[in-house]
Structure 1
Amino acid sequence: MNTAELLSLIDEHVRDATINDLIALFTSPPGRKPEKFLVDVAAWRSNLNDHDRELLDRVIAESVKGALFGLFAVVDGARVVDQTVERFVICTEDHDGNRVPINDMGSDLHSHFAPD
């Protein structure tokens, strides 16, 4: 796996899945007794016109991208969370225990999730 493949998988299985999950949660909260906040949001969302509902969905999408941007800024070393760590390295590990770094020193993963 290389950096481009990793980012593609993150797009599909993390970014897009989280956006869809949040929209579904805020549309129809699951469970027999969902949290009141979620019920209130779903009621509010259902009363929005189509344009405003689309805006809300875009806000959700940008929020998810913003969270991923922040996470990968930490991984890249652009946002410091520990003064003793220069950057984090993402590796794959095969069944024999061999590790291969995915994000080399030139990687700029966080830019992939920069706001539109």
Structure 2
Amino acid sequence: MTQLEFVNILNELIVKGSCDSVLKLLNDPPGRRPPQYLVEMSNFFKSQDENSKEMIKKIISFTADTALFGLFCIIDDVRTFDNEHGHLELFYIKEKTKVLLNDPEQEYLHDIFNSLENKY
């Protein structure tokens, strides 16, 4: 697996997947008695005109994007996450192949993520 493949997979699963899930919940809260907070958010969302709904969708996407970007920054060791000054090494291992995905000698994952198109 390459860095780009990894970033694309996480973008699809986390950013796009969570946005789709949130929008589905806003449009149709599940269960006989969904949580009150979800009902309130759903009612608010449904009360908006189409332009406002599109802006809310962009905000949801931006939020998910920002969260994944922050995670990539931590994985890339450009944002600290502990006081011990340790670092992370993220390997993709398949059979006898072992690839360091956050190799400091390669392009940063957060830069690859930022270069993706079709955001928002």
- TM-score (normalised: structure 1): 0.87
Give 1:29's aligned residue: 29
Tell me the number of residue pairs that the alignment of Structure 1 and Structure 2 aligns: 115
Does the 8 A contact of 2:14 with 2:64 survive in 1?
A: no
Give 2:91's aligned residue: 91
RMSD: 2.0
Does the 8 A contact of 2:45 with 2:53 survive in 1?
A: yes
Structure with higher RCO (Cα < 8 A, 6+ apart): 2
Give 1:100's aligned residue: 99
Give 2:67's aligned residue: 67
Letter in 2 for 1:99: K
16-25 or 51-60, which moves further after superposition? 16-25
- TM-score (normalised: structure 2): 0.84
Once residues 107 and 89 of structure 1 are traced to their aligned partners in structure 2, the CA distance between those partners, rounded to angstroms, is 14
Give 1:50's aligned residue: 50
86-95 or 65-74, which moves further after superposition? 86-95
Give 1:16 deviation, angstroms. 0.8
Unaligned runs of 5+ in 1: none
Give 1:13's aligned residue: 13
Give 1:110's aligned residue: 110
